[in-house]
Structure 1
Amino acid sequence: MEASVLQKPAATKQLGKTGVLLVNLGTPDSPSVPDVRKYLREFLMDGRVIDIPLIPRTLLVNGIIAPFRAPKSAKTYQEVWTENGSPLKYYGEVAERELQRVLGDEFVVKLAMRYQSPSIQSGLEIFQKQGLTKIIVIPFFPQYASATTGSIHDKVMEIVREWQIIPDLTFVSSFLDHPKFIEGFVRNAQKFIQQTDYDHFVFSYHGLPERQIRKGDVTKGQVCKLGSCCDSLNAMNQYCYRAQCFETTRRLVKQLGIPEGQYTTCFQSRLGKDPWIQPYTEDLVKELPKKGMKRVLAFSPAFVADCLETTIEVGEEYKELFEEHGGEQWDLVESLNDSPLWIELLADLVKSRV
């Protein structure tokens, strides 16, 4: 047999760099009413966010929600705005910079927002001009949902499909099971637990309309019942947002040693009259003090960066509601934000896909 047949082929050297697109939901360019209105219109006109036909969606968003909600939302954004601008964007910029440092020159890391700036389009154009061999897209959402991760994937494909040359493209769908994601929230929570003996622990996730969960059920109702079907994560419900949220809670309470009966998984940010996934955080907050649970530690594990939905909604509004109904202490565990562990997690996600 010829020697050439026995020789192991040399590994093919990658010719170009790998692009890493970090994508979060988005934020207004400023907390002014016009900028907030512009952001709301782009965000809510996404058919994966408000999943109703175009004409009624246009009338609802442009005729009712954006005009009337923008002034109120602008005041809320002013509360979270810092000297660095939007916290969500600032933490994203830190992640972009630090991940680039960790990964080195063989990678090009860019931050993008699904809505507003910097846009997904601008990030992908930078990659395209540099002739990258591979692009890895990492949405900043631990749990998959069509309205968040799915929308980002959809937008990337909408742009890239117009390219004459499409590079190797890889998407991260979720990372709730990554040990460093769990460890990050556990570390942040332990700082509170060491100081206070809490009566109850609340794990509040951003809500979704029930219809969106049902649309994602590949069994057409045979498995998804919006109830005990989320008691485990398996092949049939692995992309169900509600099931992933309950799985996230199970992993966190296991690491924290929280016993059954002392924690609740719930969902916040309801909008409109249609039923959203339950239980609702707002209802739970009112009931806890009546059951003698006066000291509560809250988590928002659907967010990796503190923003309006964590700092204001969970950290302040629910705190006020809790105290109004007899609660004494309501604390919020901060998100991963700019922690070194978060950067390590992102690096792991990239390296596992190269």
Structure 2
Amino acid sequence: MMPHKKEQHSHKGHQDHHKRQHHHGDREVNGAHEIDNMSFQGPGRREDGGGSAIHMSNLRIGDLLGKGAFCEVHRGWLLKSISNQEEVAVKRVKKELRNGTQRELAMKDLLTEVEVLRRIIPHENIVKLIGFSESGDETFIVLELIPEPLVERISAWKYRNERLTSIVLISFFQSLFGHSCCSSSERERTNLWRERVIAGRDLTAALQHLHDVAGNPNYSLIYRDLKPSNISFHGNRLILFDFGLAKFIPIATHEHAHITMTPETGSVRYMAPEVHRGERYDHKADIFSLAIVLWQIFSLETPFAHLDPPAHRRQVVDGNHRPQIDPSWSTNLQLLLRSAWAPLPNNRQDAATVLDRLNHEIQDLNALLL
């Protein structure tokens, strides 16, 4: 694992033209913010209640790890016993937003995240809610600490890939002069590729879990903000976090028609065209974002890096331009990406189908490494 760098934050990184807009169709937050008494439209709370209340005397807040549009995340320590404390992440509203409308929107994001995490069944690729705490007019949510952002992992993968590519090329030229070729480096490159496909599989598994709401027959959960800065690693475990824009919708609704929700919600680089245009959208908007993130994991490059927002609108949203797919990737992966980022939502595969394709890809790589 790469050491954590403070300037590349695990819980909130580069905003990437980030838009967190809210409208009256979403739940408003005013006055006191009592988490246990919140009115919420969605599936019932899990029997275990998710995170529990934490007394402020048991929580010590440390250095700032990162900040987003509304909230900031600090390193913290949760006292579990006299001799035992757990290192955690503590998320709260930014100090400069302690009053007014922006504070209400920030509290809405914060409390939405708590309620989502308390209502879904835990999943290994979704951040663990440890608890929440209130002090005066402040609310804190306490989450597991995730040390390594996806952007750092991509940088590490890219470094390893470039080093291995150089070794393989040198070995190839040596073989022309009768020296043995280094097959171990080629095997290591395959292992590196497999790591990235597994990361994509784990991200897709988290998204499928949300869309299915752990098998709840009545509701689906749309994440609405899928991007690298909301993804981190703890060892080899990929973890999705930041559920402030997530929204429950009835299954019956998105089976028959897209519903009206907040337009331009999420980050432009990863945003589905229908969301960017302010049209009705459903869980297939998440699939588009997933495809762009998967491409970034596979290619180790930033998507649409050369496009400013107006050019992105012309070329990607209206012109259906997509990142270039490496022809060396398997036919399975190429078809997966083309389907997942299709212009029309109904032409995109669902998360379960994407997950199945990625599992098949991993099986093929496992067989190759035998």
Provide the TM-score with structure 1 as the length reference: 0.27
The structure with the greater share of residues assigned to strand is 2
Provide the TM-score with structure 2 as the length reference: 0.26
